Amino acid sequence: MKTQVCIIGAGPAGLLLGHLLRAEGVDCVVLERRSPDYVLSRIRAGVLENITVSLMERLGLDQRLKAEGLPHDGFNLADGERLIRIDIAELTGGQQVVVYGQTELTRDLMDAREERGLEVIYEAEETVLFDVESDAPYVPYTRDGTQHRVDCRFIVGCDGFHGPSRKAIPASVGMEYQREYPFGWLGILADVPPCNHELIYANHERGFALASMRSETRSRYYVDVPLTDKVEEWSDERLWDELAIRLGPEAAANITRGPALEKSIAPLRSFVFAPMRHGSLLLCGDSAHIVPPTGAKGLNLAASDVHYAAEALTGFFNKSDNDAIAAYSDTALARVWKSERFSWSLTKLMHRFPEDGPFERAMQQAELDYIASSRAAQTSIAENYVGLPV
């Protein structure tokens, strides 16, 4: 098969990019290793920034997001008895974030495939990237035991942290920046009303907790746990008890418990690979970078990469303009690094690190005191939380 752009991976980055390219008349095909049901079974992000919402609007695929998404004007940082509300709408000239699950966003993009003429080949296995340094790269893959091959002008790697795209860039031209954290987030999804109408990020002496939601009847909660913990060691009851302690008495009084629909542990990592383009290969989303989840940046960063990549590729095919392709890596990385910084600093502020002593704890308290008392500090957090401009 011959096409202009071969996209590897049909997570949110790959599907968004595919739709944006099709909307501009650029030919593309998306290769996805898993089945649609498997992709939808992964419970991940829940908070959308402006950039992600505006891409869905631009595609005209925002009906369900508008009807079912919950716009939030603020969120809370809790430290012991203290609750600091960050009024993002007031501090950013009326901007909001929208609570709408990654699963729902992915479903909306999947459901529009046929109507928009976006070809996604699911269960495409053994994808390999060839000749990425040339103007005619190609991607062989197998499906149902049969070999196929996509010939194209560009490949875009939207295949997540473990996919093959980043590895197709020679080590001699790439640089990895990495930090691993000594804990993971244990998450629970349950069909119970949220304990608070806004998110609460809590720093408690027993560790971090986050009260989030997917809707008015579905809650998502997290606690941080040592990397050695196994999900099986956390019965629903143990996890609800821990959440009630870490979120504090006021939130605890409003927690409704229920059976877990999903429960899993995700490790925390900061990771950036540069450059994000090599020859005819562009990287978008988790294939190029990972942020720790504190601050809900992962999915939104994938969306801003896709925005830049779509502009660059449509410029190339529709206006014979090569400049944005040449600038793609620098343009995307400038925003990536700012989100990396925000996610890292909020992670450091809200978690108890095993290596930290009284000095580091005093620094956290001083920073939280400063945030509580300074409009400038709150504005800085708010503008990062709603998403920096693209």
22-26 contacts: CB < 8 A, separation 24 or more?
Answer: 22/116, 22/117, 22/118, 23/58, 23/59, 23/116, 24/310, 24/314, 24/317, 24/318, 25/318, 26/313, 26/314, 26/317, 26/318
Q: How many residues bind ligand DHB (CB under 6 A)?
A: 10
72 is catalytic: yes
Q: Which is nearer to ligand FAD, 50 or 127 (CB)?
A: 127
CB of 22 to ligand DHB, least distance (A): 29
| C-alpha to C-alpha distance for 325 and 103, rounded to whole angstroms | 30
Amino acid symbol at 108: D
| C-alpha to C-alpha distance for 323 and 205, rounded to whole angstroms | 51
Identify the three-state secondary structure at position 357: coil
Residue 294 interacts with which of ligand FAD, ligand DHB, none, CB < 5 to 8 Å by class: ligand DHB
CB of 44 to ligand FAD, least distance (A): 3
Q: Which is nearer to ligand FAD, 9 or 74 (CB)?
A: 9
Q: In this structure, are strands 119-121 and 28-31 parallel, antiparallel, or unpaired?
A: parallel
Interaction of residue 295 with ligand DHB, rule CB under 6 A: yes
Instruction: Work out which of 15, 47, 118, 313 binds ligand DHB, going by CB under 6 A.
Output: 47
385 is catalytic: yes
Residue numbers at the binding site for ligand FAD (CB under 6 A): 8-14, 31-34, 39, 44-46, 102, 124, 127, 158-160, 163-164, 266, 285-286, 293, 296-299, 302
Tell me which of 72, 204, 289, 351 is the catalytic residue: 72
Q: Per CB under 6 A, which region of 44-52, 127-135, 137-145, 158-166 contacts ligand DHB? A: 44-52
Q: Per CB under 6 A, which region of 21-29, 127-135, 291-299, 311-319 contacts ligand DHB? A: 291-299
Contact 212, 247 (CB under 8 A): no
Neighbours of 35 (CB within 10 A): 11
Interaction of residue 46 with ligand DHB, rule CB under 6 A: yes
Tell me which of 100, 141, 181, 201 is the catalytic residue: 201
- Peptide bond before residue 137 is cis, with ω within 30 degrees of 0: no
| C-alpha to C-alpha distance for 126 and 141, rounded to whole angstroms | 5
Q: Which residues carry out catalysis?
A: 72, 201, 293, 297, 385
